[in-house]
């Protein structure tokens, strides 16, 4: 895996320990600006290191999850 910038490493670290959360929650926990966090999330999603999904408790919000669940965990496995 290529080297990641510090902002992307911090985002993965916080998602790995804190579970799925919004970009605002991530920014608050790591004390980075929301813009920096959004950019890090965008780049991590492009690298397929995390997933973006709708928050089922509030469909207006998007949450990010890491590590990416396996197809078996998401129910997408075909047998």
Question: What structural domains and CATH numbers belong to the chain?
Answer: 6-74 (1.10.10.10)
Please give the model's pTM, rounded to 2 decimal places.
0.80
Whether 15 has a pLDDT exceeding 60, the answer reads: yes
Contact, 61 vs 22, CB < 8 A? yes
Phi, then psi, of 18 in degrees rounded to 5: -105, -5
Is 50 exceeded by the pLDDT of residue 69?
yes
Read off the pLDDT of each residue in 50-65 and give the average, rounded to a whole number. Answer: 93
| Integer Cα distance of 78 and 51 in angstroms | 20
Three-state SS sequence of 11-43: HHHHHHHHCCECHHHHHHHHCCCHHHHHHHHHH
């Amino acid at each position: 895996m290529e080297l990641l910038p510090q902002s992307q490493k911090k985002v993965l670290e916080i998602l790995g320990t804190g579970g799925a959360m919004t970009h605002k929650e991530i920014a608050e926990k790591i004390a980075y600006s929301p813009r920096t966090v959004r950019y890090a999330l965008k780049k991590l999603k492009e690298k397929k290191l995390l997933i973006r999904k709708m928050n089922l408790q509030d469909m207006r919000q998007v949450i990010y999850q890491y590590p990416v669940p396996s197809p078996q965990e998401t129910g997408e496995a075909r047998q």
